[in-house]
Structure 1
Amino acid sequence: MLLLVPADPLRPRRPDEHFAAEARAAREAGVVVAVVDHDVLARGGDVDRAVAGVPADEDAVYRGWMLRAEHYAGFVGALARRGAVARTSAEQYRRAHELPGWWADLAEVTPEAVWTSGPDRAGFDVARRELGAGPAVLRDYTKSVKHHWHEAAFIPELADGDAAWAVARRFLELRDDEFTGGFVLRRFEEFTAAEVRTWWVGGECVLVGAHPDTPHDVVGTPSVEAVAPVVAKSGLPFVTVDLVLRADGVWRVVELGDGQVSDRPVTLAPEALVAALFAR
């Protein structure tokens, strides 16, 4: 069992402070911990140097900052050359990390979505018309900018092409070099409470807690029955599923994400996450 975490940029032999608590919990549980150079991995640089301190292991799990799917693939390849087998393959990471990889499987329990394969307006307008009139929420394959809700996330009326494109253009400005894949337009649904983050290992829901954006909000009890068969069938080894209560009382999936790069709220004990990840 091996936990990989980003190195502290100033003290490269130590875990990044954001993941230090999980690293400590893992060591206390008897899990080997190694650090990797996230900055090199994220640039697609010398990936073999980035993982030079990683020992051989048959079950390596990463807990760290996001990586583009192509950079994660390079990471997995470098690990393999050291004899370390990533629990999550490059293909599995892309399916979980990018919305087009998981949306169809969850279509019945998540807002309708359409997407483009780039940032151009022509593709955006095609997607806008496909989704149809009404309000929508904008993001790219991996992330939204919901903290800039009115200027770069919420589109009040898709039928107003110029106004919709103004939101998209601002979104591009804010995402800049981090823009990934293409635009994603999702049908707006009215939600009434804070999101709940659920954690899944081997197709089973192992933890339920607050979302990192609202860590101290009271967490409801989401219904995972509709989601469980899909997550299990996907074969994805470690994911998070964010759920929220819609105005009509129905639990909806906001997002599925790869658990390796999903943030842990401060109210979820690192010991609990490590125990769930490396249970035998």
Structure 2
Amino acid sequence: MTEQLYILFCESPFQTNKVDEDFEDQFISAKENGFETLLFNFEDLTSADRFSIATKRIKQNEELVKVIYRGWMLTPNQYSILYNDLLTKNFKLINNAEEYQNCHYLPDSLKFIENRTPKTVFEKFENETSIDKLIEKSKAFGQKAVILKDYVKSEKHDWETACFVADASDTDKLKKSITKLVELRDKYLNEGIAVREFVELNDLTIHSKSGMPLTEEYRLFFCNKKLVGIYDYWEEGEYKLSKPDTTEFEKIAKQVESNFFSMDIARQKNGELIIIELGDGQVAGLPDKIDRNEFYKQLKICCC
């Protein structure tokens, strides 16, 4: 007998027992491809005083079954709460808390991809002193250009003021940009700040709203060490080249301690491919060009 597979989605913040509108297309595709669906309240889970009731409408299952979350990003602590709460109801998320953080936080994922990703230094953010420590670590880049982000997200749309620094040795500019990044991320800042070597990537186009340069990037999804698919990352720009050979990245994926994750890769101007970062597959967004129905069809194949 085939194991029943479940997908967990966020409930609409405006209507109970209805999927969040931003995930409605995925909800429909999951059901059409044979997944059972569950809903929980994201707002409750991420609240300081209501997290314990986030899954109150999910009933106890008779036997332990696997469930994949597809929804908004969670901190490792929030994910751990969700994981343990679901477990009491006989639903086991595909990744445990450690496996989630392995790909969700850039510093945790470096042990799997360090040899194929741009040079990176990082520092947990606690106060102004943390910025000074990070600037000291950034001396490793010399006069090279660098990119800034927190452990999960960047502020790409504030490219010149909070993301890109043309010369890492310009400590005044570097400090201003890091400070601006912290200000923009505010309460959503993920744990700490990472400084990464800027690598020249193959140009695609210029973002129509932010003016940010878009480059030839792809998002791969892996489930149970098997490739679900490779997809164009950006919705803008024309991908003129054929999709890259994924053989090497499939080998790397087998070493990643996660059961469901994304891998973003990019083509450099010299034609070589690099890994930009990993992400937990449950909170990694689906690029706009992805056929949702095809994605869930392939996901189910890899899950079985």
- TM category (shorter chain) comes to over 0.9
Q: How does 1:35-74 map to 2 (within 5 A)?
A: 35-55=39-59, 56=61, 57-74=64-81
Instruction: State the partner residue of 1:214.
Output: 235
Taking the aligned partners of 1:169 and 1:240, their CA distance within structure 2 comes to 29
Q: How does 1:1-280 map to 2 (within 5 A)?
A: 1-55=5-59, 56=61, 57-119=64-126, 120-192=130-202, 193-211=215-233, 213-214=234-235, 217-218=238-239, 220-279=242-301, 280=304
Taking the aligned partners of 1:216 and 1:17, their CA distance within structure 2 comes to 27
**Consecutive unaligned residues in structure 2, runs of 5 or more:** 203-214
Taking the aligned partners of 2:79 and 2:238, their CA distance within structure 1 comes to 33
SS in 1 for 2:115: helix
SS in 1 for 2:275: strand
Alignment-mate amino acid for residue 272 of structure 2: V
After superposing the two structures, state which structure 1 stretch, 241-250 or 223-232, moved more: 223-232
The share of aligned pairs that are identical, in percent, is 23
Deviation, structure 1 residue 42: 2.2
SS in 1 for 2:255: helix
Taking the aligned partners of 1:145 and 1:136, their CA distance within structure 2 comes to 14
SS in 1 for 2:261: strand
Pick closer, same or farther for the CA change 1:69–1:215 going to 2, 3 Å. Answer: farther
Deviation, structure 1 residue 274: 1.5
Alignment-mate amino acid for residue 51 of structure 1: T
TM-score by length of structure 1 reads: 0.94
Q: Deviations for 1:213-257, whole angstroms, at most 9, x for unmatched residues?
A: 436642741232332222112231111111111011001111110
After superposing the two structures, state which structure 1 stretch, 120-129 or 197-206, moved more: 120-129
Count residues in correspondence.
Answer: 279
Q: CA RMSD in A?
A: 1.7
Alignment-mate amino acid for residue 119 of structure 2: E
TM-score by length of structure 2 reads: 0.87
SS in 2 for 1:226: helix
Alignment-mate amino acid for residue 8 of structure 2: L
Taking the aligned partners of 2:263 and 2:48, their CA distance within structure 1 comes to 28
